[in-house]
Amino acid sequence: MSVLIYLLPLALGLGLTALGAFMWTLRSGQYDDLDGAAVRVLSDDDLKRR
């Protein structure tokens, strides 16, 4: 039962760290253009260079 004294703050700390990282990615614009990468994969840029 005394192990909860260590595990509970550790779990809360990890959860808050993950939430902070997610909020940082939201603010930095990581999710602004979700369709752009899918379209870029299909483009034939290497054919235009030849």
* pLDDT band, very low/low/confident/very high, at 50 (cuts 50, 70, 90): low
* Total domains in the fold of the chain: 1
Q: What is the total residue count of the chain? A: 50
Query: How high is the pLDDT of residue 37?
Result: 76
Residue ranges making up the domain that contains 44? 4-49
Tens digit of each residue's pLDDT (9 = 90 or more) over 15-49: 999 999 999 999 999 888 888 878 877 877 666 55
User: CA nearest 16: which of 4, 26, 24, 27?
Assistant: 24
* 31 DSSP 8-state letter: T
Q: Does the reported pTM lie above 0.85?
A: no
**Amino acid symbol at 47:** L
Say if residue 13's pLDDT is above 70.
yes
* Contact status, residue 25 vs residue 31, Cβ threshold 8 Å: yes
Q: DSSP labels for the chain?
A: -TTHHHHHHHHHHHHHHHHHHHHHHHHTTTTS-TTHHHHHHH--HHHHH-
